[in-house]
Amino acid sequence: MSFDTIGFVGLGLIGGSIAKALKRVHPEKKVIAYNRNGAVLDLAAEDGIVDVAVKDDSGGQKADEILAPFSECDLIFLCVPVVTALDFMDRLKSIMKPGAILTDVGSVKGGIDRYAAEHGLSANFIGGHPMAGSEKTGYQNSKDRLIENAWYILTPGEDVPVKKISDLSDLISRLGALPLVMTSSEHDHVTAAISHLPHVISASLVNLVHDIDGPEKYMHAIAAGGFRDITRISSSSPQMWQEICLSNTDQICGMLDKYISKLLDYRFAIRNENSEELLQIFSDCKEYRDSFDTQAKGSVLREYRIYTDLEDVAGAIAEIAIILANKNISIKNIGIVHNREYEQGVLRIVFYDQAAMDAGISVLEGRGYHIYR
């Protein structure tokens, strides 16, 4: 792997998380970082994440001179909003070493990939999209395992050497993510369907309920599991989703047209009380949705989760965690199920693999816990 010195422009949630993962897996790598807020760089340096901090408070230096340390980099992550990323691409172009790779972390790829090609960077730019995040932002909320087991899509420029694509894919794998290479147009088409459209639908449903709820606010009070599940993503950053919609307009509108047509088909079946059509609709839906949880070659592993009843007393969750930890059984996630319209058990426990789940079930059942699988 040829990336010995790696740069980060932006150390927010994503940039900070990738940098932390990098230092955890490859502490020998030299990390050079720029961030608008110098205090973040100081904190990252104290954490041992950043070796060279590049700040804007460098006296009378010109803007491009400030970025001079990045001339050492073999790989540079642009972890800033797309408009800012384009500006940094221009500023870094003249100082990058020959063969260096630029990559970004944005959720829309077509625009920035075209910009790279139009500005002579088609051999140096590999678009990137780690499909991970949090409702929290900033370096202070970054985690070294944020991208672990998450798809990390790469969209290389047409002139990028195959060796460089392979090297970046290998690095992403070492950080625990799942690299997937595709074209920028494929990426924007796919994410419009499985990421961008769902957010638009979620937002529209939340706003519909807001608008039609009566003065008693019954809908708000009893919003149940189904509603909460499909609208959870509406709590993410409005500014980010505004930018995504404006950056992937054609693909999102195309998906909206298809979705509206599908809704009209469903409305027609419901209005005409077509029982066979409705049964087919929901049967097809269930079959396809259930397939998401099966293990297939090249796909993310299904979620290994169980549920158990839990007495509402202080320390109850900690007791279960300790029981599992004492048997060296690692858990991926644990938490209360606040609405159990579709799930049994008060506590949800997610394991990393089948073996851990089986061992966890055996241990907990041996301690008298009732397990729902």
CATH number for position 148:
3.40.50.720
What angle, 0 to 180 degrees and rounded to 10, lies between the N-to-C axes of helices 110-118 and 184-191?
160
Residues 171 and 213 in one domain: no
Q: Are 55 and 121 within one domain?
A: yes
* Residue segments in the chain with a per-residue pLDDT below the cut of 50: 60, 294-301, 339-342
Residue 91 lies in a domain: yes
Q: Collapse the DSSP code of 143 into the 3-class scheme (helix H, G, I; strand E, B; otherwise coil) and give the result.
A: coil
Kindly state whether residues 246 and 341 are assigned to the same domain.
Answer: no
Amino acid at 302: R
The tokens for 41 are: 């760089």
The answer to whether the beta carbons of residues 90 and 124 sit under 8 Å apart is: no
CATH code of residue 260: 1.10.3660.10
**Apex 68 CA angle, 63 and 70, nearest 5:** 115
Residue at token pair 């899509």: 153
Structure token pair of residue 140 = 């202070």
Q: How far apart are CA 70 and CA 95, in angstroms?
A: 7
**Domain-terminating residue out of 268, 293, 318:** 293
The C-alpha angle 154, 198, 268, rounded to 5 degrees, equals 135
Task: Provide the b/e sequence for 230-247 (b: ≥16 CB within 10 Å).
Answer: ebebbeeeeeebebbbeb
Helix ranges, 38-94 (H): 38-46, 63-66, 82-93
Please tell me the predicted confidence (pLDDT) of residue 300: 42
> Is there a domain that residue 299 lies in?
no
Contacts (Cβ under 8 Å, ≥6 apart) of 292: 302
Sign of CA dihedral 38, 39, 40, 44: positive
Q: 298 in a domain, yes or no?
A: no
- Confidence at residue 296, expressed as pLDDT on a 0 to 100 scale: 44
Question: Is 160 part of a structural domain of the chain?
Answer: yes
In a domain, 17, yes or no: yes
Please tell me whether residues 204 and 98 are part of one structural domain. Answer: no
User: 């678009």: which residue's tokens?
Assistant: 127
- Domain with 25, as residue range(s), is 5-182
Q: Is residue 88 part of a domain?
A: yes
CATH number, position 354: 3.30.2130.10
**DSSP run (H or E) holding 5:** strand 5-9
Last residue of a domain, one of 182, 212, 230: 182
Answer yes or no: do 169 and 102 share one domain.
Answer: yes
**Is 284 a member of any domain?**
yes
Same domain for 101 and 86:
yes
pLDDT for residue 344: 56
State the amino acid at position 356 in one-letter form.
A
Looking at residue 341, its pLDDT comes to: 39
User: Are 159 and 200 members of one domain?
Assistant: no
Q: What is the reported pLDDT for 247?
A: 87
Residue 229 and residue 355 in one domain? no
Q: What are phi and psi of 104, to 5 degrees?
A: -120, -175
In the prediction, which pLDDT does 197 show? 93
Which residues, in sequence order, are CB contacts of 313 under 8 Å at separation 6+? none
Question: In this structure, are 38 and 167 located in the same domain?
Answer: yes
Does 210 lie in the same domain as 243?
yes
Per the domain annotation, does 344 fall within a domain? yes
- 280 and 245 together in one domain: yes
- The predicted structure's pLDDT at residue 136: 73
Q: In what order do the strands lie in the sheet with 331-336?
A: 331-336, 347-351, 304-308, 371-372
**How far is the C-alpha of 219 from the C-alpha of 225, rounded, in Å?**
13
Tell which of 152, 182, 212 closes a domain. 182
Quote the pLDDT of residue 301: 45
Q: What is the pLDDT of residues 191-246, one digit of tens each?
A: 999 889 999 999 999 999 999 999 998 888 887 667 877 787 787 778 888 888 98
Spatial separation of the C-alpha atoms in residues 18 and 8, rounded to whole Å: 9
Number of domains in the chain: 3
- Are 148 and 262 within one domain? no
